[in-house]
Copies of this chain bind each other. A is one copy, B any other.
Amino acid sequence: MDGYGFRSLEKCAECPIRHRAVCANCSPDEFSVLEALKSYKTYAKGEAIAWAEIEMTHLGSIVSGFATLQRTMEDGRSQIVGLLLPSDFIGSPGRATVAYNVVAATEVVVCRFQKPAFEALLERSPAMTHRLLKMTSNDLEAARDWMLVLGRKTARERVASFLLMLAKRTYEDDDGLAAATEATVSIPLSRAELGDYLGLTLETTSRQISQLKRDGVLELVGQRDIHIKDLARLMDETCDDTA
């Protein structure tokens, strides 16, 4: 379907991620340049969007789907170092390669630009540069938050932290999470991937989810969807003060 399913996206003005992506603050002039340069590509679940140490030819934004950033060791150990959701940016301008693999966790549609062209555009567009700085700085903040999880939290706290983060991201647009007492989230990762994100084995991850279920904090709806019965309780379980 490589592109053909997305004719409606050819106009940036109708793009679903228009107000949150790197192009959020662009002027009409800039949008017309972007529209001329962009192309869409669809990746199947499990497919690599970029590979560590391999030069990237394109940069771009996730339009739909989830992707993971994963760093692996020779002996097979692997750590997911980031999740990409719609509107997140793929690649670092000015850097030829990234140190991790970008893998589609679901089917993913990317709005892509040739790297040199995009970098040239960035040189001339303060709006995009500032937006990208803001996004990068948010990612840095999130990465550092997650370092606390990986370095200091117990297995149960890690799972709780993950579910809470997912709930926040899921409901961030309606910002109803502050008031809500319940929430339902869909986990876009397998237990093995979840373990790689949490720095745990898949068995420990599964056990902690079961335990939280037994303790009445949540309910499983199928294997990928989780209904959080008591959000306040879950927040306690994360042992985290950041509201």
Contact = CB atoms under 8 A, between A and B. Distances in A.
B99 A141 contact: yes
Contacts of A77: 152
Contact of A81 (B69, B137, B147, B196): B147
A139 to B, nearest CB: 6
Interface in A191-219: 196, 198-199
A35 to B, nearest CB: 24
Interface in A124-156: 126, 129-130, 132-134, 136-137, 139-141, 143-148, 150-152
A75 interface: yes
A73 interface: yes
A235 to B, nearest CB: 12
A79 interface: yes
Interface string A202-243: 000000000000000000000000000000000000011110
B73 A148 contact: yes
Nearest to A240: B73
A7 interface: no
Contacts of A95: 137, 141
A73 B140 contact: no
Contacts of A152: 73, 77-79, 199
Contact of A100 (B75, B144, B150): B144
A75 B151 contact: no
Given A99-B145, A129-B129, A136-B140, 14 more contacts: A71-B144, A71-B145, A81-B147, A82-B144, A93-B133, A94-B134, A98-B141, A99-B242, A126-B126, A129-B133, A132-B133, A133-B136, A143-B144, A150-B150
